[in-house]
Amino acid sequence: MTLSDIRAVTFDFGQTLAELDTAMLSRRLAERGFSVPPAALDAALEGAWQAYNGAIRAGHGGHPWHLLMATLLRGAGVDGAACEGLAAWLFALQPESNLWRRPIAGMIELVDALRAAGLKVGVISNSEGGLAGLIEEMGWQGRFDAVADSGVLKIEKPDRAIFAWMAESLGVPLAATVHVGDAYSADYVGALGAGARAVLFRGDAFVPEGVVVGQDPHTARCREADALAAILEGWGVSLAATLAQKSTH
Q: Does 2 score more than 50 pLDDT?
A: no
Q: So what's the pLDDT on residue 42?
A: 96
How buried is residue 171: exposed, middle or buried, by Cβ count under 10 Å (0-12/13-18/19+)?
Answer: exposed
Q: Does 249 score more than 70 pLDDT?
A: no
List the one residue out of 143, 183, 184, 193 whose CA is nearest residue 163.
Answer: 193
Q: Is the dihedral of CA 166, 169, 175, 179 positive or negative?
A: negative
pLDDT tens track for 114-141: 999 999 999 999 988 889 999 999 999 9
> Cα separation of 112 and 99, whole Å?
23
pLDDT tens track for 60-106: 654 588 999 999 999 999 999 999 999 999 999 988 889 999 999 99
pLDDT tens track for 177-229: 999 999 888 999 999 999 999 999 998 877 888 888 988 899 999 999 999 99
Mean pLDDT over the full length of the chain: 91
- Shared fold status for 3-18+103-247 and 22-98: no
CATH topology of domain 22-98: DNA polymerase; domain 1 (1.10.150)
Name every residue whose Cβ is closer than 8 Å to that of residue 235 and which is 6 or more positions away in sequence. 3, 6, 178, 197
Confidence of residue 11 (pLDDT cuts 50, 70, 90): very high
Q: So what's the pLDDT on residue 230?
A: 96
Q: So what's the pLDDT on residue 247?
A: 54
- More confident position, 31 or 241: 31
pTM: 0.86
Domain locations in the chain as residue ranges: 3-18+103-247, 22-98
Q: Does 245 score more than 90 pLDDT?
A: no
Domain covering 3-18+103-247 in this structure, CATH number: 3.40.50.1000
Q: So what's the pLDDT on residue 45?
A: 93
CA triplet 2, 182, 172: central angle to 5 degrees?
Answer: 35
Q: Does 51 score more than 70 pLDDT?
A: yes
